[in-house]
Amino acid sequence: MRKYVIMGVQGSGKSVQAAALGADLDLVHISVGDIFRWHVQNHTKIGAQVRRTMAAGELVGDDLAEAVTAERLAQHDWNYGFVIDGFPRNARQAEFFLESYDIDGVIFLYLPDEEVRRRVLARRLCSGCGMDYNLIAGRPAEEGVCDVCGGTLVTREDDTEEALAVRLREYHEKTDPVLELFRRKEYVVTVDARPSKEEVQQEIRKSLGLPPHKD
Ligand code: AMP
């Protein structure tokens, strides 16, 4: 059983790296942001509660974030373990998490803020199937159209200059202390997020003592 937390600022490639780590090691990728986005897209009660907060780049309340995370982990579909992305995001969530789950490691993807801006503002999302694109590195074959399902590509509502500035500030204020807490427990491996996706993945595995990635 392997249980990891993946941390890093928006645009550092957390979900791509978590998914690649999960694919051949059979680890379930749990993204708290994706769960909230699903609620917004499907107009659920939770979606109505979080939509504006998310669009402004602010953090959803701890009670709700903890409840959603606990409920997802309680599904216990992670026989071989999980990689959780987007949680914990502040000191309180970190305490809640450490009380309930023992973890094997924290992957910290390091990306300087100026690179974050460049990447995030080029990010697009398929409104049909949720597939991620990036106009710098992962352009679709036809502009504005999803390669997989033909859906329309849209900008995430929180990928604007204003919301990004709020998110970066929130991140440094609230998430940096979580990293410090995990560092004190010697859980953290730091990986530079600037090289290619494949290089970053191999570096994560090397740092955690895991077998190299195979397609
Ligand atoms: P992400 O996709 O991880 O960037 O998350 C998108 C948005 O979902 C964040 O900007 C928050 O509004 C919300 N969110 C995701 N995870 C959490 C969390 N652990 N605590 C509070 N809000 C969260």
DSSP SS3 for 152: strand
Q: Is the CB of 10 under 6 A from ligand 1?
A: yes
Going from the Cα of 32 to the center of ligand 1, the distance in angstroms, rounded, reads 6
Q: State the pTM of this model.
A: 0.85
pLDDT of residue 45: 97
Going from the Cα of 214 to the center of ligand 1, the distance in angstroms, rounded, reads 30
Q: Is the CB of 13 under 6 A from ligand 1?
A: no
Strands 81-85 and 132-134, by their bridges, are unpaired
CA pair distance 55, 3, nearest whole angstrom: 30
Going from the Cα of 164 to the center of ligand 1, the distance in angstroms, rounded, reads 12
Q: Which residue has the least CA distance to atom 5 on ligand 1?
A: 33
Tell me the best of 15, 36, 172 to mutate to test the pocket of ligand 1, counting ligand atoms within 8 Å of each CB and taking the most. Answer: 36
pLDDT of residue 11: 85
The three-state DSSP-derived secondary structure of 17-39 is HHHHHHHHHCCEEEEHHHHHHHH
Q: Which residue has the least CA distance to atom 2 on ligand 1?
A: 33
State in Å, rounded, how far the first CA of the chain is from the last one.
21
> pLDDT below 50 — which residues of the chain?
none
Backbone angles phi, psi at 121, to 5 degrees: -70, -15
CA pair distance 135, 116, nearest whole angstrom: 14
pLDDT of residue 137: 80
Tell me the best of 41, 60, 68, 109 to mutate to test the pocket of ligand 1, counting ligand atoms within 8 Å of each CB and taking the most. Answer: 60
Q: Is the CB of 171 under 6 A from ligand 1?
A: no
Q: Is the CB of 125 under 6 A from ligand 1?
A: no
Q: Give the number of the atom of ligand 1 that is nearest the alpha carbon of residue 93.
A: 19
Q: Which residue has the least CA distance to atom 6 on ligand 1?
A: 33
DSSP SS3 for 55: helix
Q: Is the CB of 90 under 6 A from ligand 1?
A: no
